[in-house]
Structure 1
Amino acid sequence: MHFRLLGHIEVVDDGTSLTLGGIRARATLGYLLLNHNSVIPVSRLMKALWPNGTPATGRKMLHNAISHLRGVIGTNSMTARAPVLLTHAPGYFLRVQGESVDMICFRQLVDAARGDLAAGRWEQAADTLRGALALWRGPAMVDLVEAGVNWAELTALENDRRAAIECLVDADLALGRHAQVISELETQLQAGPLRERMAGQLMRALYHCGRQSDALALYQRTRTALIEEFGLDPSPELQQLERAILNHALVGGTAVRPSADQPAELIVHSDSASPLPSRPASAGLNAVPDVASDRVVPDTSAEAGASVSAALTAVPDVASDRVVPDTSAGAGSSASTVATAAVASEIKQVSIVLVRAIKETAEASDPAAAALTHERTTRVVEAEAARWGGTMAGTLGSLWMVVFGVPVSGEFDAWHAARAARTISHRLTRQPPNEDGPDGDPSGAVVVATGKALVRPSGGSPSAVSGAVFDRAMGQLIAARPGEVSMCEQTAAAGRTTERRTLSLVNVPTGGASEPFVGRDHDMRVLQHAWAQVRRLHHPHLVTVLGPAGMGKTRLLAEFTGRAAGADPAAECLIGSCAPAEPGGTGFDALADIVKARCGVATDGSESHTRARLASAVTGLSGLNRPDWVLGHLCDLVFGTTDGGEDAVSAWCSFLEATVVERPAVLVLEDAHCAADAVLDVVDQLASSTGPLLTVVTARPEELLGRRPGWGGGKRYASATVLQPLDDRDIRELAATRLGRRNRDGAPTLVDAVVTKAGGNPFFALELAATLAGSADRPVSAVQHATGSTSLSLSLPPAVRAVLDAQIDTLPLVAKTVLLDAVVLGASFCGGAVAAIGSACAADVEQGLWHLERLDLVARNGQLSPAGRPEYEFRISALRDVAYERLVPAAREEKQRIVAGWRFQLPDPDKLAS
């Protein structure tokens, strides 16, 4: 049996390609093969399969995939060399032999070729490398990559391939095959034009083919690109190579053999008698934050330099969205060196849950019993912390602490902290003694406090968190009565806001909303046109409404469903929300909501009444195949007992298709980016099913399209609309409505403040206006303040801050680093000023700005720097406020000092944007 990864994933047995099943089974096999002959914990495997969050049924889905793979591979091996998939705590172990996996064979051949290169056996090395590269049938695991799989192991594998190509070129150049390598090198340089080592190889090949002018032109193109992209000259090696070509001093000959401490793949000179001098390490090229002192200091480590033997090329770490050094043989020179600075300390909004259990220690006479009860209590707290997305920060005697918002902020941290506190209190004070948990302890208490804290990263260990919010939480705990759950006002306010935000569309008023419906005429026309086509032609249609948090997706759908119901009372509007009630939701509740809406099931109805309504609805559908089977799975969906398998989804789909045969229907699925893959699969298929069904999906673009890049594409009846920020006129109307009559005197100034801060986001505008409406008794002059733009110095509402905090923390590391540097530069900034701070090199600054611009967080302001480079500004003023407040004052001042010194040393304004 042979396993092929270098191309699409394939298992071949006796010349026959075996059926591997669906994407989940193929991905499971691929990850186990990438980590062959090693025990892979279940948690790590599940994270690889579901990087954006494991669904509730993820463990069962993984077990099914493993069971299927064992049927393919075989569970009983007749020989010791046969592959076998074993369960080995804490996960799984795939045992394979090297010769049965093309990836292993490739690496073994490359290692052998490197030995030949070191010994000067050029012909043998070239033949071996060609055999190794012939094993590739395309990008590694291309079928999984096309499905959205991104693993660091795949990046490493592609780096190995590039390194092998460069080693082969070195061998061919040593053998005098200059003409043969030119075509391959030109192709490779089109994909990576700044790879200096490969450029040097092509220059040598062109020179020895009598094309000196082409070689020099290549050097000039490379030099120009390096200067324009990074502001750096080519490496000394490439400069010396140019001088040798100019002086006709480049002679052929044997390549330099690597020394014992220098890998063969890093040898870049095959014509000179001795190695060219390596570039010295440059201290101070990259400034890194000193976490201990919150200062930004120069990076003087050896890695900050760029010698030939340690050249670094920035490559994406697909597992974490970070940019990390590429130390493979194919790495280029320092032109692509990326600052490897750690994330500095930040001031973040966090929620603290403190749990006090008195009886287990203070009143226990038996230390062993007290220890057992302490362990049980710890299990309860840990379980609820994990369930609601918190981090266990530690225990001290009878005190437990859970932190929400570390290491990554979430939009609903305070709400989740409050829910966790209630469930912990319930389990600790009401759990019967005969259950697996601590005895009831009504003498304990649970408190929640929300506020700012200093978060200090500490490598692989949990981040250190400190601040006044802890003192406030301890004060609450001391004052709390036995058995009480106490919450600070900020936590309670955030909870009230979250309750409003998490209401499904079915709870949103239609036609009589308190705020005007503005700025969405185009999006409404898209929906109405699709609905008219569905009713006229009796075919399905899928409309995807995309927009970031707060952009008005629910408000748009509320208006549309109200108009659709008014225009055709016989049409049904079936609504389901995939937004999880707790972290880790799968979206199957949305399918249950749609069934309830269609069958008229009351939320608070009894089980017997609910089953009767479901049975009546199912039996009343004509043409439904296997009604009893469908009814059973629908009951499982409604009562939450389904395993979320294919049968449950198929039953739901059959029920829906039978429903729309009778009359047109609108199916709305909110927050589809939270749904399980199985739910997304069936919704995507509805656009190709029969019947007059308009399916409307709302989602956040970066999350849905990140999982499904081709969502809705290629379908005959599918369309999409992206909600754009509202213009100032619409924001003014929303703000004026929310401010109300009693703010009429100061309304113009207050509305201006909302427009400036909201950045076109209607949710932000409404929350900001509500905050100002509550402080209208203050004179306008007392709250007006200059913050780089005309605005009011108002405290951002907790809901707005939570959304922006979560948005910052979900950015890739490079983009977040650029963002936190740019906030100290004023209302407008350019890439050169950001790079001067030194947290990221020039190349990473460009990458970070591109990402921020793509997410509409920053925008070009239409101005150019003296050097002709674009200037940027923050799209949402409130985002700059939140990011600015995250910086520790000492680090903020140090960044400003660095930029001031850099500007002072500029000889002319043109360098400001270089």
Structure 2
Amino acid sequence: MRFSLLGPLEVVREGRPVPLGGVNQRAVLGYLLLHAGTVVSTGDLIRALWHDPVPPTARKMVQNAVAGVRRALPADGSCTLETASPGYLLRLDPGLIDATRFRTLLERGRADFRAQAWEPAARRLREAIALWRGPALADVIESVTAWPELTVLEEARLAALEDCFEAELALGRHHELIGEMTSLADEEPARERLCGLLMLALYRGGRQREALAVYQELRHVLRDGFGLDPGPELRRMERDILNQDPRLALARGTAPGRATGPLPEPAAPGAAGAESTAGAESAADRPATAPPSRTPCGRTADARDRLPGGGRAGDAGRPVSERKRASVLLVRTRVDAAHGSSECVDETLDDLARIIAEEARRFGGAVRETLGSVRPVLFGFPRSHEDDPERAVRAARAIRARVADRVAAFLGVRIAVATGDVLATYRDEHDPSPAQLAGTVPHSAERLLAHAPPGGIRVCPVTARAAGLHAAAPEDDPAGGVPVAPGHGPLPWTPVPAHSGPPVGRDRDLEILRGLLGDVRRRQRPHLVTVLGEPGIGKSRLMAEFAADVPGSVLVGRTPPYAGGVFDPLADAVRSRPDGAETARLIERLPAEAGAAAWRRHVADLALDGPLTIVLEDLHRAGTALLDQVEDLTEQLARVPVLIVATARPELRQRRTRWGCGKRDVTTLTLDPLPDDEVRALLPRPADPVLLTLVGGNPRHAEEYARAVRGDAGDASDGAYDGAPVPGPLRALIAARIDTLPLPERAVLRDATTFPESGFRAEGVAAVSARTTEETAEALHALERKDFLVRRPPDRSGAPEYAIRQPLLREVAHAQLPRSQRIARHRRAIDWVGTLPADQADLLVHHYRLLVVLNSPDLAHDAARQAHHALLAAERRAAAAGAHEAAARCRRAAHDLRRGRARGAPSWAAAFHLPPSRRVDGSPVATYR
């Protein structure tokens, strides 16, 4: 027996259709097939069949329809419809349903798509699409309520078509596709990815005017219907068509049916583009490549803006360099060829390569090019995480465990992990990963690898501290490595415990949460609260305080930073009850939609006993599937008293700009920085004003600086060569936040750190970054929307002015620029200030002081002398223009530099045990670390 849902409902037994009853019986069977293997309550069936008002005999009508379905099913037990409280359970082989076969083919086709195997990808996707005979359950949907499951199926069909078109475009089949794509675009005029693909096909078919007409029609549809403009990728494609950019064409010599080069890869199941990846990392956090971007087709891709012809849309290449903390994992193999044939060795090495790639992807690492018998995995590039050393150690343990279980005995494996600063160079700011890496970390890892025993793991002391390993380095190990104890399987993930003590300065936020819980209890309706805040602002501590004072049951679920399932937080919340382990395992075993439905039913049952509070932490790590479920909870849950509190970082707003919009009973609460008088309570001594400024009202920052002052920080402090020291954990935390930005915006943010804390404007940042003022202004505006910048009142020229919102953010971003590039940027800034009116000549002071600080001791004296003369000339120019205050500032700075006082050290710097500063003319200037 086979069941067909993708079109009118059909049941076929032994090649002949099975007669079905009226619309109610067909609707009940269709709904049960959509939830096969899951208990469907009678109430759900009633709501699925009838709009309000529900007939008074609805329950009896459902029972009659169920009886009719049972009569239509075979008596051999292959398909059974059982009564299971609180409704019915349809048991059958999922492969008998065409919707299941469609999803299977779709997954296989997308796997080929990701591997850039265009021919099998197109073939499998066409097979999946061919299963559709019309709208899903076309003979049922007109008579029942709108079913979200059918909307999901239809969206999957459209996405499969777009994937198929994209794969076939890579095979040079643009002429054959134009008619089909045009017809679909007429039906779905607002799908940007589809329109981008159609534009590309028309352009390659020599129909440039029609390609531009498609763009204009899409723009009218978006503006008239939604008040929006097409996305930047489509705007860039229109510009490239107008310019007849050769990179839009097929690669030279490509014949139809042959692959043309890299295509946009689909997002990994579950993050950050996060739009579809967690499952995107936790697509947001789990990818082994760069954070996903959008292709001209509106699709997340591994290579930014890379076109099917192998080129890239947009402007000419702009190299980018950045200096960040990273962890390097090296795996060395030694083959004892005497114990295996060459074929066996090759198969075993392939198996090992696959294991390394899978574990790297699971923990967010990127596999680099193999060097001889050494396979490197990089954690921290292209995107860093605050726990990269721990991820590397966990990946090493997982690789070792899988190798011990599955790889032949004649293959010896040694593993090493080292952590430190790495300088990465990108050929272009749209490249997904660095083309070149420099630094001592790979060499340190190689030294550790040389002293690792067969089957052993050695890590450097920095990695050991960051990963929480307490073993000491053996005295006879010249590399100073720390051994990782043997174990079977990866270490389980354990969340960082909440900070001890009550929250400081959060009384108002607690009152809001308590008030919303009271509303839930009074109205007997679910409510969703999203608590947003930057890392360390106190979200988890606030939740701990709130949960401790909540009457009734509290379920707490956490989104793991890596290697988690799609609905792990939901299962984790259920597991937090003493009797919830079995239900949690059931939710984890079920398919995604069925698991979410089972979780909602379980929550509704629990809430029948009284108000229920559910806390879902770190939702910014969640994948698209989980975000969709959480955002719709107030719509999908029954009318029960449930308060759902989700905590997240601002990245959630970047991924979901309209999070919660249009949903009923949804509230967003943003935690602001604490005032200085409350931050002082977290510091161990009377706080220096400069230290309070650095802390910026963030409790986590205050605690890390307090630990550093007490000497408990371990990997203590580092910062810009000319800036304040930053405790290691904070540096990792803030660097991970910076890496949530696309590389072009990261580059603009670092360029902005060239200017003083008081502020900067687009014209100046453009001058130091070789960008146009318009391009820079757009990037600065994007950074302001994402809470990296704050807009200040206009400066003396009347132009909009910005400042970096958080002092520590400025320090970490500034430290990521190589010293030579910082010097070059200050020189460009000096040239730009020279074009400004004379009353702004005092802007030179900041840049000349830092030029002296950044130069090596051999050159600092000459730099100070040149700065002295330049500032005196600026003083004369300002005085002649009547800008006496600016002239006085230039004069004071010139005399300070002449005496060797480039920049005084903060009064609290001694608390971090900084090494002695180098000197110019006998006075401290800076220390290059």
- For normalisation by structure 2, the TM-score amounts to 0.57
The CA deviation string for residues 89-145 of structure 1, in whole angstroms up to 9 with x for no partner, is 997899965334437899899989x9999xxxxxxx9xx9999899769537999x9
- Would the aligned equivalents of 2:530 and 2:668 in 1 still touch at CA under 8 Å? yes
* Equivalent residue number for residue 588 of structure 1: 567
Cα drift, residue 576 of structure 1: 1.0
Question: Structure 2 unaligned runs (5+)?
Answer: 1-6, 8-30, 32-106, 137-157, 187-194, 247-294, 308-312, 471-489, 844-929
Change (3 A) 1:845 1:574: same
CA separation of 1:591 and 1:360: change in aligned 2, threshold 3 A: farther
Aligned to 2:782: 851
Q: Among 603, 606, 609, which residue is 1:662 paired with?
A: 609
Q: Indicate the residue corresponding to 1:374 in structure 2.
A: 349
Question: Are the counterparts in 2 of residues 40 and 90 from structure 1 also a CA contact under 8 Å?
Answer: no
Compared CA separation, residues 138 and 448, structure 1 to 2 (3 A): same
Match of 1:495 among 448, 456, 467: 467
Partner of 2:500: 514
Give the match's secondary structure for 2:673. coil
Contact between 1:546 and 1:701, CA under 8 Å: does it hold in 2? Answer: yes
- Structure 1 Cα separation of the partners of residues 361 and 675 of structure 2: 41
2:706 matched to 1:769?
yes
| Partner of residue 364, structure 2 | 389
The CA distance in 2 between the partners of 1:385 and 1:447, in whole Å, is: 14
Separation of aligned partners in 2, 1:563 and 1:110 = 61
Contact 1:414-1:491 within 8 A present in 2 as well:
yes
Per-residue deviation, residues 23-49 of structure 1 (Å, max 9, x unmatched): xxxxxxxxxxxxxxxx9972596799x
User: Structure 1 residues 502, 369: CA separation in 2 closer, same or farther (over 3 Å shift)?
Assistant: closer
Aligned to 1:305: none
Match of 1:484 in 2: 456
Q: Distance in 2 between matches of 1:875 and 1:891?
A: 23
Instruction: Pick closer, same or farther for the CA change 1:43–1:157 going to 2, 3 Å.
Output: farther
In 1, distance between residues paired with 2:719 and 2:743? 32
Q: Deviations over 1:692-714 (max 9, x none)?
A: 111111122332x3443333333
2:521–2:611: 8 Å Cα contact kept in structure 1? yes
Q: What letter corresponds to residue 651 of structure 2 in structure 1? A: E
Cross-structure match for 2:390: 415
1:617 maps to none
Partner residue of 2:182 out of 88, 102, 105:
102
Aligned to 1:405: 380
From 413, 419, 425, the counterpart of 1:450: 419
1:195 alignment partner in structure 2: none
**Paired residue for 1:699?**
648
Q: Which amino acid aligns with 1:342?
A: R
1:706-721 equivalence runs, <5 A: 706-721=654-669
Shift of 1:870: 4.3
* SS of structure 2 residue aligned to 1:345: strand
Classify the secondary structure of the residue corresponding to 1:843.
helix
| Deviation of the 1:555 alpha carbon | 0.8
Equivalent residue in structure 1 for 2:834, among 904, 907, 910: 904
- Of 742, 745, 748 in structure 1, the residue corresponding to residue 686 of structure 2 is 748
Q: Which residue of 2 aligns with 1:351?
A: 327
Mark the CA change 1:47 to 1:686 in structure 2 (over 3 Å): closer, same or farther: farther
Aligned to 1:250: none
| Cα pair distance change 1:902/1:325, threshold 3 Å | farther
Q: Partner amino acid for 1:71?
A: W
In 1, Cα distance between equivalents of 2:386 and 2:649: 14
1:628 corresponding residue in structure 2: none
Residue 63 to residue 558, structure 1, CA distance change in 2 (3 Å): farther
Distance in 1 between residues matched to 2:658 and 2:713, nearest whole Å: 49
In structure 1, the gaps of 5 or more residues are: 1-10, 12-20, 22-38, 49-59, 76-82, 118-124, 164-257, 264-314, 328-336, 602-609, 615-633, 740-746
The answer to whether the 8 Å contact 1:669/1:698 transfers is yes
Q: Mark the CA change 1:438 to 1:768 in structure 2 (over 3 Å): closer, same or farther.
A: farther
Q: Which amino acid aligns with 1:877?
A: P
* Residues 66, 492 of structure 1: alpha-carbon distance in 2 compared, 3 angstrom cutoff: farther
Q: Which residue of 2 aligns with 1:686?
A: 633
SS of residue paired to 2:467: helix
**Mapped contact 2:380–2:388 kept (Cα < 8 A):** yes
Q: 1:711 to 1:771 in 2, by over 3 A?
A: same
1:246-395 alignment to 2 at 5 Å?
A: 340=316, 342-360=318-336, 369-395=344-370
Query: Quick check: 1:877 aligned with 2:849?
Result: no
Whether 1:572 aligns to 2:575 is no
Aligned AA (2:678): D
In structure 1, what is the equivalent of residue 851 of structure 2? none
2: distance between equivalents of 1:687 and 1:556?
A: 23
Q: 1:563 aligns with which of 540, 549, 569?
A: 549
CA 1:696–1:87 in structure 2 vs 1: closer, same or farther (change >3 Å)? Answer: closer
Change in 2 beyond 3 A, CA 1:718/1:384: closer
Alpha-carbon shift at residue 591 of structure 1 (Å): 1.6
Task: After TM superposition, give the deviation of residue 673 of structure 1 in Å.
Answer: 2.6
The residue identity in structure 2 corresponding to 1:773 is R
Taking the aligned partners of 1:140 and 1:868, their CA distance within structure 2 comes to: 34
Letter in 2 for 1:450: T
User: What is the aligned counterpart of 1:636 among 586, 589, 596?
Assistant: 586
Partner-residue secondary structure (3-state), 2:505: coil
Q: 1:600 pairs with 579, 592, 616, which one? A: 579
SS in 2 for 1:866: coil
Q: Which amino acid aligns with 1:808?
A: I
Question: Identity across aligned pairs (percent)?
Answer: 30
Q: Distance in 1 between matches of 2:393 and 2:805?
A: 32
1:805 corresponds, among 700, 723, 735, to 735
Matched, 1:42 2:110: yes
The alignment partner of 1:539 has SS state of coil
Is it true that 1:724 corresponds to 2:672 in the alignment? Answer: yes
Q: State the secondary structure of the residue aligned to 1:358.
A: strand
Q: Which residue of 2 aligns with 1:892?
A: 822
Whole-angstrom distance in 1 between the partners of 2:201 and 2:720 = 62
Give the CA RMSD over aligned residues: 5.4
Contact conserved, 1:455 with 1:464, CA < 8 A, in 2?
yes
* TM-score normalized by the length of structure 1: 0.58
Aligned 8 A contact 2:328 2:442 in 1: yes
2 CA distance for matches of 1:373 and 1:776? 43
Deviations 1:837-877 (A, max 9, x none): 14321112212222222233233455x43212344333222
- Return the structure number with greater relative CO, CA threshold 8 A, min gap 6: 1
Equivalent pair of 1:384/1:423 in contact (CA under 8 Å) = yes
Residue 211 (structure 1) aligns with: none
- Please tell me whether the aligned partners of residues 717 and 727 of structure 2 are also in contact (alpha carbons under 8 angstroms): no
Distance 1:262 1:694 in 2: 54
Q: How far apart are 1:423 and its partner, in Å?
A: 1.0
The CA distance in 2 between the partners of 1:370 and 1:531, in whole Å, is 62
Alignment partners' CA distance in 2, 1:830 and 1:139 = 38
Report the Cα distance in structure 2 between the residues aligned to 1:683 and 1:733, rounded to whole angstroms: 36
Question: Cα–Cα, structure 1 residues 116 and 834, in superposed 2: closer, same or farther, change >3 Å?
Answer: closer
Letter in 2 for 1:70: L
> C-alpha deviations, 1:780-836, integer Å up to 9, x for none?
xx99999988xxx43x23322222222222223442222111222233342232122
